[in-house]
Amino acid sequence: MHRRIYFATTALAGWLVACPVLVPLALAQQSTPAASWRYFAQPPRAPEHAPNVLLIMTDDVGFAASQAFGGPIPTLTFDKLAEQGLRYNQFHVTAMCSPTRAALLTGRNHHSVASGVINDVATDEPGYTTVIPESAATIGDVLKANGYATAWFGKNHNTPKWENTPVGPYDRWPDGMGFDYFYGFNAAMTDQFAPALIENRNQIIAPRSSDYILDKDLADHAISWLRIQRNVAPDKPFFMYYATGTPHSPQQAPKAWIDRFKGKFDQGWDKLREETFARQKSLGVIPRDAVLTPRPKEIPAWLSLGVDERRVAARLMEVYAATLAYSDDQIGRVISELERAGEIDNTLVIYVQGDNGASEEGFRGTSNDLAAIGGIEGDTEYMLSILDELGGPRTFGNYPSGWGWAMNTPFQWGKQVASHLGGIRNGLAISWPERLSKTKGQVRTQFHHVIDIAPTIYEAASVKPPSVLGGATQQPIEGVSMIYTFDQAGAPTTHTSQYFEMLGNRSFYKDGWIASTTPQRMPWSHAAQANQAASYKWELYDLNQDYSQSKNVAAKRPDKLKELQAGFDAAASAYNVLPLNSDFIGRLDRRLRPSQTAGRSDFTFYPGPTRYSDGAFPVVGPQWKIGAHIDAPGAGGDGALMVRGGYFVGWGLFVIDNRPVFIFRASDRPEDTTRIASNKPLSAGSHLIEVEYAQSPGAPLPSAGVVLKVDGAVVARGTIPRVGYTGGDVYVGQMGGAPLLFDLPTPFAYPGKIERVDFSIVVDSH
C-alpha cells in the first residue's frame, strides 16, 4: 500500500513539473506569501535605493595616457564618464597589479592583506604571502551579504599561484571572494587572441575564429550577465568588477584599430611628453605652475635612435594606443547596455585608469614579451620584417620604456616604483548621474588612495562593513570614503597620510609632503640583485608647491625628511611591510613558495582538455624526461602528445607525418625553433616515445641537448642553441588555444590512444 502511494505521488509530482502552467491554477488557493514563511531562509535585501556599482580597472595605464588627462589616446568611454562625473588628479595606487587589486577589493593596505608584491614573487612573510586572509572581506563579500548580485569579469591576479590549479583549492578564486559569477583569466597577463579562460571554476578554450578577441568577449559576457540578472532578479542591485588585462603586454588589438593610429607617434616620446604636458595644463588636470620633469639619462632621447629603430618604436606605440582605445570602446558597450536598460542614472561607475603607472619594463620594445622575460630581447631587424603584424595574433609585444615614461607625464618613473608619482598616481573618473548632476565635469584635487574605493562604495550603498563575516573577525577598513568630495571641490582631504612600498622602493606622504627613496634597479632590468633596500637614499618633495615632484628639497629640510622617514617606519611596523626586500629576480624562484608538486620527481598525466597551469606542473630543473605510452592507429595519425606553452615560447612532443617529433621554441623567430624528428614512421600498435632533455650552462643563455627515443632506441638527437623562459600551460593529448606552430591546427588532438604520459625530473646526483 505504501509503495503504491509513493508511486502515485511521484507520478503526480512529475506531472506537475511537466505542466508548470497548471501549477498556479491548481494550487493558487494554497500559496502563501514569502513574508509568512517560517523555515525558508530569507535572502538579504539591499538597502532601499542602493545604487548599482560598476567598478572598472585597466592594466598598466599611466596618468597621461587618456585624453581625459591630457594624453594622446582617445578613450571615449573614460572621457565621457569624466565629463558627466568627476575626475581626480591626486589618486594613488601601489605601483604593481596584484597589490593594487588586493587593496582595491578589500579597502585595506596591500601589506595588511598579505599582498605586498605580485603573487609571482610571494615570500614567507606576513605582508608578502599573497594569501588574502578571511579577515579581509572583499567588496564582493560585503555587498553579496547585503543583497547585491555580484560578478567579476577579466583579470584575476589575486589567487596564489599554487592554488591556481585544475583542482583548486578555490577559496581565493573569485567565487570564493564573494562573486556569484566570474569570466576571465587567472594570471598576470594573457594572449588576447588565445586567452587561458576560466568561467567560474571551469577551464574554457576560446574559439579559434578570425574575429575573436578577449576584450570583446568580456563585454559580450558582461552584457549577457546584466540581462540575465535583470530578468531573473530585477529587485537586486548589482556589483560588477570589470578588470581588463589590457593594455598590459601582450599589447594586441584588431588591425583596423591599430591602423587608426598610423603616424600618430612619429614625433617620438620627448615631443609627445611636451605636447601632453601642454594639454594637461589647458584641461586643468594639472596646475598651471606644474613643472615637467626631465627624461632620465637611462632612457635614450628619441632622436638618438636610428631610423629603423624609430619606425619600430612608433609602430609599437600605435599598437599600445589601439589596445587601450579598443578595450575602452568595449567597456563602452557595457555602459551603453546600462543606458539602454534605463539603469545608468542610479549606477555608480568608478573607472580607475590603471593599476599602476605605465610600464617602463620593455626597454627597447619587443614583439615577444615572453621571450624577453627569458633574456631574448627585442631585435629591430626582425621586428621591422614583421612590422605590419605587430599587435596581431603572431606577436606578444610590449612597447619601449620611453613611451611608458611619456604616458606618465609630468612625473618621474613608472610601474614598480612606489617612491615616485609616475608609478603610483593614476587617473580616476567617477560617474553617478543621479548624484553628480550639479558637479559634473569638475576636477577634484584631494589626495586619495585605492584603499578609499571600498569605503566609498559602502557609503554610497548605505552598507556598513561587518565586524564579523563568514565566522571571521574582520580587520579594520583602512581607507576613507571619498563621497565628501562629490559636492565640495575645496574640501580638505580626509586621507592625510599614506605609505607606499614596492620591491624596496618606498615613500611616505603626509599633509602634502612626500619622502621618497631613490630607485636603484631599473624597471626593465632582469639582472639578479641582492637585497639592497636598507641602503636606499632618500629624497624630499613639497607637493603643496611642486605638483609633479620635481624639486628634491631634502638638503634644505632635513627636519621634515626625518619626520617623514619616522612616519614610514611607523607605518611599516603597523601594516606588515617589514622586512623590506628589494630583490625581484631572485624571488621569482618557485621553490620559495608552496607547491602541490614539491618533493616529487615523477608525475603521470592523462589525455584530455585539462589545462595544467604553472601551479599544477612541477618545477623543472635543467634535466627532465617525457615518456608517452601510446597505441598508434593502423592508418597512422598525427597529433599532440604533450605540449607546454605556445607559439611565443614553448615545447611539445608530437606525432607529425606519423613520425615522433619534439619541437622547442625559444621565441617566435624562425631561428629559435628547433625540430628534432625521427625519420622512421610509427608502426601500428603500442609504443613508448621518450624525450630526454639536458640543459648546459652558457652565456648569455644556456643551451640544451635532446634525445628522442622510440621503444628504447634512439631515433634522433639535437641541440637547442639557446634556452630562455620555458613556462606556460601544459596540455596532454592536444594543444590548448594557442598553437605551438601556426601550421598545426588546434587542438591537434592525437587520434590514437594515449595510455599515459610520464614526466620525470632528473635529479643530478653530483
pLDDT, tens only, 340-352: 999 999 999 999 9
SS3 at position 752: coil
Of the candidates 322, 270, 321, the residue with the CA atom closest to the CA atom of residue 296? 270
Task: Provide the mean pLDDT of the chain.
Answer: 94
Percentage of the chain beyond pLDDT 70 is: 95
Say yes or no to pLDDT of 15 above 50. Answer: no
Distance CA 513, CA 510 (A): 5
704: left (phi over 0), alpha (psi -120 to 50) or beta: beta
Pairing of strands 505-510, 497-502: antiparallel
Task: Write out the E strands in 210-288.
Answer: 238-243
Q: Return the ∠ at Cα 479 (arms to 422 and 482), rounded to 5°.
A: 80
The answer for residues whose C-beta is within 8 angstroms of residue 490's C-beta and 6 or more apart is: none
Which sequence spans correspond to the domains of the chain?
52-495, 598-761
Please compute Rg for the chain using Cα positions.
28
Distance CA 674, CA 655 (A): 15
Distance CA 428, CA 350 (A): 7
Say yes or no to pLDDT of 24 above 80. Answer: no
- For the segment 494-519, the average pLDDT, to the nearest whole number, is 98
Distance CA 483, CA 489 (A): 11
Which pLDDT score is estimated for 378? Answer: 80
Residue 377's CB: how many other CB atoms inside 10 A? 18
The answer for residues whose C-beta is within 8 angstroms of residue 598's C-beta and 6 or more apart is: 591, 619
Which pLDDT score is estimated for 38? Answer: 86
Which pLDDT score is estimated for 36? Answer: 82
For the chain, how many residues are written? 766
Which pLDDT score is estimated for 321? Answer: 98
Which pLDDT score is estimated for 737? Answer: 84
Domain 52-495 CATH class label: alpha beta
Which pLDDT score is estimated for 34? Answer: 73
Which pLDDT score is estimated for 147? Answer: 98
Residue 338 near residue 230 (C-beta atoms within 8 A): no
Q: Output the pTM of the full model.
A: 0.95
- For the segment 506-517, the average pLDDT, to the nearest whole number, is 98
Distance CA 754, CA 61 (A): 46
Say yes or no to pLDDT of 7 above 70. Answer: no
- For the segment 126-141, the average pLDDT, to the nearest whole number, is 98
Please report the sign of the dihedral spanned by the C-alpha atoms of residue 63, residue 64, residue 65, residue 68. positive
> pLDDT tens, 646-697?
999 999 999 999 999 999 999 999 999 999 999 999 999 999 999 999 999 9
Which pLDDT score is estimated for 764? Answer: 67
- For the segment 383-394, the average pLDDT, to the nearest whole number, is 97
Of the candidates 628, 623, 601, 618, the residue with the CA atom closest to the CA atom of residue 705? 623
Distance CA 408, CA 226 (A): 34
- For the segment 262-273, the average pLDDT, to the nearest whole number, is 98
SS3 at position 654: strand
How many alpha carbons lie under 13 Å from residue 467 in its C-beta half-sphere?
0
Which alpha helices (H) appear in 359-468, and where do they start and end?
369-373, 380-385, 401-407, 421-424, 433-436, 453-460
- For the segment 110-138, the average pLDDT, to the nearest whole number, is 97
- For the segment 504-529, the average pLDDT, to the nearest whole number, is 95
Could you give the angle at which helices 214-232 and 307-340 cross, rounded to 10 degrees? 10
Which pLDDT score is estimated for 14? Answer: 47
Domain 598-761 CATH class label: mainly beta
598-761 and 52-495 share a CATH fold: no
Which pLDDT score is estimated for 30? Answer: 53
Distance CA 188, CA 735 (A): 21
Which pLDDT score is estimated for 32? Answer: 61
Between the alpha carbon of residue 521 and those of residues 119, 409, 525, 529, the distances in Å are 20, 21, 7, 8
- pLDDT bin (cut points 50, 70, 90) of residue 26 is very low
